[in-house]
Amino acid sequence: MLESFGIGLQAIATPLGILIILLGTIVGIVFGAVPGLSATTAIVLCLPLTYKMSSINGMALLISLFIGGISGGLVSAILTRIPGTPSSVATTWDGYPMTQKGEGIKALGIGIAASFFGTIFSIIVLIIAAPSLARVAIQFGAYEYFAVAVFSITMMASLSEKSMSKGLISGLLGCMFATVGMDPVGSTKRYTLGIRSMMSGFNILPVLVGLFAVCEIISYIGKARDSKGFETVEVNMSGVKGMGFTLREFWGQKWNLLRSAVIGCIIGILPGIGASTSNVMAYTVAKKSSKHPEKFGTGIIDGIVASEAANNASIGGAMVPLLALGIPGDSVTALLLGGLTMKGITAGPLLFVQNVDLVYSIFIAMVIASVLMLLIEFYGLRVFAKLLSLPKYYMLPVIFLFCIIGAYGVHNNIFDVWTVLVFGAVGFLFSKLDIPASPFILGFIIGPLAEANLRRGLMLSKGSFIPFLQSPIAIVFFVLAIISVAASTYSNYRKKNA
């Protein structure tokens, strides 16, 4: 293995290679930070640039865009409550409240550190265990995926503390909206209203932009007239040293970091589920495991640590099935697979034999990109603080403009921009009726996964539910789901009777 590392290091550690990784990380962070743009968009745009590059440099560019893009989402999530990417949704829940308390720099600092830890942890897992972990992931069939989806859906109960029925309604509405379009198994049209653009359903990016960005803007318009000085957030940098948090605070998060990174890795390894799910899952688990769950959502570092460690750990996890089996873990790794195919390289077990230098160059490029991400975001902290001092009546409309560009850019279709408006209205209605929006997002993402695998499983078992309960992996997830619902119900019951 050391010899292979040496070969990889020799291949990537050239001035051009390092420059490519640096530029890729910066562009990735910018795309991740701007709501509406994402790591996927950055990779799609830079894929043509890799035509003329060598395989190693091309993959290094794409990987560094991936790492920068996932990590960059925390900037807007913390500063404006608008997640830069779907993988930073959970970061808004504690990140923005910390900004409102004047602890925005601390929130950014701890988020950056957690992102770095999550990425490095998942790279170590990737290097040590890629082939073995891929063999486990390949055993996941329809029954197991359905069980994972059911377990994820039970998280809705935990995300809706004030009123479980409202949370479930929100989550089920998310599942309902996700059914719009073509049926994933039978290919029949559902709820398309005769509109051709609706046949592919609603894309997650415009939904997210509408639910968070439009809702935030409209809510701000409602409060702005009577605001006295809350249009900017005062950030006092004078007492801030380093990344804004102490070593003691960071050490206090060690178990949270480790647990969230493991969750992110596992979610990342499973094909079809990615960082957009892992951050919410890790946040919910952190909340349930905490001695003070009532503090989550009020602005504590635990929530940010869980979300950011998990979403970045999904990066290494998603690379496991890609490199070891040639199966992409999520949409971004699907593009990376495209990048490999363009170079005439076949991902899979033979990659570790025939292209050792490429594989280990990818590992080293990931480490270098993670370190550069940490340094760029650390030195950018002061710049991010300056952004906070911009009045919101200048900043929010500009952010909205980029959100619209991002939404339009999904399919170059005005339908996606209408989607932003519709879900903006939905989000605003939710905020007025005190219905949580987070279960909606979870339902929107997980609903199709649950439905497709339930129906595939029933087709395989000829309509019988028994095989779902015969798979050991599925049983584990069903039991976890029951425990999760029971624990949330008991916790709510105790609170009401306290």
Partner 1 sequence: MPRLYGIVMLLCAVVQLVTGIRQYRKDRKTEDEPVDSNVKRSRLLSSRNVALGFLVIFLYVFFMKSLGFCISSTIMLICLSNLMLPSTVDRKKAQPIIILIAIVLPILAYLFFKKVVFMALPGGPFLNDII
**Residues engaged in binding partner 1 (CB under 8 A):** 45, 163, 165-166, 168-169, 172-173, 175-176, 179, 190-191, 214, 217-218, 220-229, 231, 391-394, 396-398, 400-402, 404-405, 408-409, 412, 414, 417-418, 420-421, 424-425, 428, 447, 451, 454-455
CA distance 99 to 97: 5
How does 437-459 read in b/e, with b if 16+ C-beta sit within 10 Å?
bbbbbbbbbbbbbbbbbbbbbbe
Nearer to partner 1 (CB atom), residue 50 or residue 355: 50
Shortest Å, Cβ 162 to partner 1: 11
Shortest Å, Cβ 165 to partner 1: 4
Shortest Å, Cβ 301 to partner 1: 30
95, 82 Cβ separation under 8 angstroms: no
- CB atoms closer than 10 angstroms to residue 490: 10
Q: Which residue reads 């745009």 in tokens?
A: 45
Of 243, 230, 161, 205, nearest in space to 436 by CA:
161
Shortest Å, Cβ 216 to partner 1: 11
- CB atoms closer than 10 angstroms to residue 331: 17
**E strands, 234-389, in order:** none
Nearer to partner 1 (CB atom), residue 320 or residue 449: 449
Shortest Å, Cβ 448 to partner 1: 10
CA distance 446 to 452: 10
How does 73-112 read in b/e, with b if 16+ C-beta sit within 10 Å?
bbbbbbbbbbbbbbbbbbbbbbbbbbbeeebbbbbbbbbb
Nearer to partner 1 (CB atom), residue 129 or residue 172: 172
Q: Which two tokens stand for residue 150?
A: 């059911």
Nearer to partner 1 (CB atom), residue 17 or residue 181: 181
Nearer to partner 1 (CB atom), residue 300 or residue 396: 396
Alpha carbon distance, N-terminus to C-terminus of the chain:
58
Shortest Å, Cβ 248 to partner 1: 39
Shortest Å, Cβ 270 to partner 1: 21
Bridge partner residues of 181 (DSSP): 190
Nearer to partner 1 (CB atom), residue 223 or residue 495: 223
Nearer to partner 1 (CB atom), residue 15 or residue 229: 229
CA distance 157 to 163: 9
Shortest Å, Cβ 414 to partner 1: 6
Nearer to partner 1 (CB atom), residue 108 or residue 233: 233
321, 137 Cβ separation under 8 angstroms: yes
Largest CA distance in the chain: 67
Instruction: Indicate the length of the chain as a whole number.
Output: 498
Phi, psi of 434 (to 5 degrees): 60, 40
Shortest Å, Cβ 418 to partner 1: 6
Shortest Å, Cβ 79 to partner 1: 16
Give start and end residues of each alpha helix (H) in 290-355: 301-325, 331-342, 351-354
CA distance 338 to 346: 10
CA distance 183 to 201: 10
DSSP-based helix, strand, coil % in the chain, nearest 5: 75, 0, 25
Phi, psi of 190 (to 5 degrees): -130, 125
Shortest Å, Cβ 400 to partner 1: 7
CA distance 7 to 360: 8
Nearer to partner 1 (CB atom), residue 213 or residue 301: 213
Nearer to partner 1 (CB atom), residue 179 or residue 331: 179
Nearer to partner 1 (CB atom), residue 104 or residue 174: 174
